[in-house]
Amino acid sequence: MKNLFYMGGPEFMAAVTILFIITTAWIIYHFVVGYTLKEPDLEKSLRKIGYGKTLGLFTLVIGILGQMLGLFAMFSAIEEATGLGKEIDPTLVFGGLKVTMIVPIYGVLVYLFALLLCFAGKLILEKRIASQAETN
């Protein structure tokens, strides 16, 4: 795992990891706040938990940006090498493409995790509030 972190580029992998932590903390915090309130405001709690999906999507976009910059650097290096008359081995190109896929895959995983947390949090909050309404 550590090897993938460095292969994917520590700058973007660190950014995605930090956003992963922020997204997870955001969703869990607002779920706990909404769940522990005596008289919860369902709409407000669900809206704030839903912002976690937006943070997850932003993380995915950062991952795609990392890939685009990696592809740009790879194509620039290929252009420079072919300009000097060097032959480029296709295995190098495919290896570079493989490396550029690491950050967006990580971003997709973070986004999927955020969607899962939001779905579970909203479902549990809605059930709790519905059961509270039945008892009142």
**pLDDT tens, position by position, 102-122:** 999 999 999 999 999 999 999
Q: For the whole prediction, is pTM greater than 0.85? A: yes
For the ranges 34-38, 92-96, 114-118, which has the lowest average pLDDT? 34-38
Among 35-39, 81-85, 103-107, where is mean pLDDT lowest?
Answer: 35-39
3-state secondary structure of 45: helix
Q: Which of 52, 60, 47, 45 is nearest to 116 (CA)?
A: 52
Residues in the chain: 136
Q: Is a pLDDT exceeding 90 seen at residue 40? A: no
Q: Given a cut of 90, is residue 2 above it in pLDDT?
A: no
Over 70: is that where the pLDDT of 131 sits? yes
Q: Over 70: is that where the pLDDT of 136 sits?
A: no
Q: Are 63 and 108 in contact (CB under 8 A)?
A: yes
* Count of beta carbons in the 10 Å neighbourhood of residue 116: 12
Cα separation of 44 and 25, whole Å?
Answer: 17
